[in-house]
A and B are shown apart, each in its own frame.
Chain A
Amino acid sequence: MVLFTLFFEFFKIGLFSVGGGLATLPFLYDLADKYTWFTRTELVNMIAISESTPGPIGVNMATYAGYNAAGILGGVVATMGIVVPALIVIISIAKVLTKFKNNKYVDAAFYGIRPAVAALILASAWDVIQSTLFRVDKTMMEFFNWPALIFFAILYYLLVKYQKHPILYIALAAVVGMFISF
């Protein structure tokens, strides 16, 4: 019974949260108040773990919340709950898109959207960069996190020069991070 409720609640979240993982937060707070699956304090820990482990944050949150509520099966069921509405909605949109593939209005819309996407991603990149390469709260002298900046430059050079799989650079950075404090 709890599994059914879990699926239904996360199905609703999947259907109504627009704009990425953290958009699921208000819904999860709502669940904390409504059920005994997890408390608001536990939710804060869940956010920290979801944000720092691989995988989309929204999915991680669903798995963690589901496990807290009903064990391993709960984790799987809650995750499926959040994915199923996406499958229905996105496949429908993809079908419409295939139909209107060379429609001039659709083409014109994407002509406007593509530069916006580049800006969207640059803005997200800035979030990551400013928190790792700069110390915004410090004085001028300490503003630049020099070891991080130098490592950033080296990694960027290696990426452009060798074009290896991104996973390699992530693994390399993890190992280097264990020995050098950034």
Chain B
Amino acid sequence: MKEYLDLFCIFTRIGAVTFGGGYAMLPILRKEIVQNRGWATDEEIMDYYAISQCTPGIIAVNTAIFVGYKCKKELGAIASALGMVFPSIVIILIIAMFLSNIMSYPVVQMAFAGIRIAVGVLVVNATVTLFKKGVVDKSTLVIFALVFIILMFTSVSPIPVVIGSALIGILLKAREGK
């Protein structure tokens, strides 16, 4: 029971401070799940995140469900998903009921300008770690560079990119095996 509550609380914390989409949750996820508890590895988190991009639903919620399932099967998945959405429900309901013009206060806007910088720092730092874990040889460096260029300069969605990378991985390993 304690583990379920623990999962719920971890994802409540993550949901409460994840500003700006699924990728912003990774630094906190790494800290809580990988470094503090050792419930999953960096590689596993990356795999979950990649699959979450290509499956229906919200990336952050999908990643939470994966981690929850890895730790504590179906009930862990449910506890994690509920934890992830709990802060959203509370915060958005409060804003909808009482503070629908909260974003028009200058002090709030200024705080958010600061938060965006912190989010940038955290995400860049997470990218450095994930780069070290994912780019292990020349082939993976080429994949990294290609994907980055495609995403920056075209409007291709992440789904064909992730599926394409998987196929390239299989082809490369198949050639190595021969």
* Contacts from A to B (Cβ < 8 Å): 14-21, 24, 45, 48-60, 63-64, 67-68, 72, 75-76, 79, 82-83, 85-87, 89-91, 93-94, 97, 104-105, 107-126, 128-129, 131-133, 148, 151-152, 155-156, 159-160, 165-167, 169-170, 172-178, 180-182
Give the number of chain B interface residues (Cβ < 8 Å).
Answer: 103
User: Taking CB as reference atom, which chain A residue is nearest B58?
Assistant: A58
Q: With A and B bound together, what is the CA distance between A76 and B55 in angstroms?
A: 23
| A155 and B118 form a contact (CB under 8 A) | yes
Decide if A181 touches B56 in the complex (CB within 8 Å): no
Task: Determine whether the beta carbon of B140 is less than 8 Å from that of A114.
Answer: yes
Contacts of A182 in B (CB 8 A): 110, 113-114, 117
Q: List 23 A-B contacts (CB under 8 A).
A: A17-B58, A21-B59, A53-B88, A56-B61, A63-B93, A64-B95, A83-B61, A86-B65, A86-B81, A87-B65, A87-B81, A94-B65, A94-B66, A108-B169, A116-B144, A120-B151, A121-B126, A125-B23, A133-B120, A156-B125, A165-B31, A173-B114, A177-B111
In the bound complex, CA of A15 to CA of B56 (Å)? 5
Give A148 to B15 CA distance when docked, in angstroms. 25
Instruction: Report whether over half of chain B's contact residues are helix, strand or loop; otherwise say mixed.
Output: helix
- A174 vs B103: C-alpha distance in the bound complex, in angstroms? 14
- A119–B135 CA distance with the chains assembled, in angstroms: 10
B interface list, Cβ under 8 A from A: 13, 15-23, 25-28, 31, 43, 46-47, 49-62, 65-66, 69-70, 74, 77-78, 81-82, 84-85, 87-89, 91-93, 95-97, 100, 102-103, 107, 110-127, 130-131, 133-135, 140-141, 143-148, 151-152, 157-159, 161-162, 165-170, 172-174
Contact of A152 among B100, B121, B151 (CB under 8 A): B121
List the A residue with the shortest CB-CB distance to B177.
A104
Q: How far does the Cβ of B51 sit from chain A's closest Cβ, in whole Å?
A: 6
Docked CA distance A63–B84 (Å): 13
Establish whether residues A51 and B173, one from each chain, have CB atoms under 8 Å apart when the complex forms.
no
Residues in chain A near residue B107, CB distance under 8 A: 178
Q: Which residue of A lies closest to B28 (CB)?
A: A166
- Of A63, A108, A177, the residue contacting B89 (CB under 8 A) is A63
Complex Cα spacing A120 to B130, Å: 11
Q: Is the CB of B62 within 8 A of A113?
A: no
Asked, given contacts A86-B57, A112-B168, whether A132 binds B17 with beta carbons under 8 Å apart, the answer is no
A176 in complex: contacting residue of B87, B100, B114, CB < 8 Å: B114
A interface SS class: helix
- Whether A63 contacts B88 by the Cβ 8 Å rule is yes
In the complex, which residues of chain A have a beta carbon less than 8 angstroms from the beta carbon of B169?
108-113
Other-chain contact of B170, A17, A108, A131, A132 (Cβ < 8 Å): A108
> What is the bound-complex CA distance between A165 and B30, given in angstroms?
10
Taking CB atoms, residues of chain A closer than 8 Å to B95 are 49, 53, 64
In the bound complex, what is the Cα–Cα distance between A67 and B96 (angstroms)? 8
Complex Cα spacing A167 to B19, Å: 11
**Complex CA distance for A60 and B118, rounded to whole angstroms:** 21
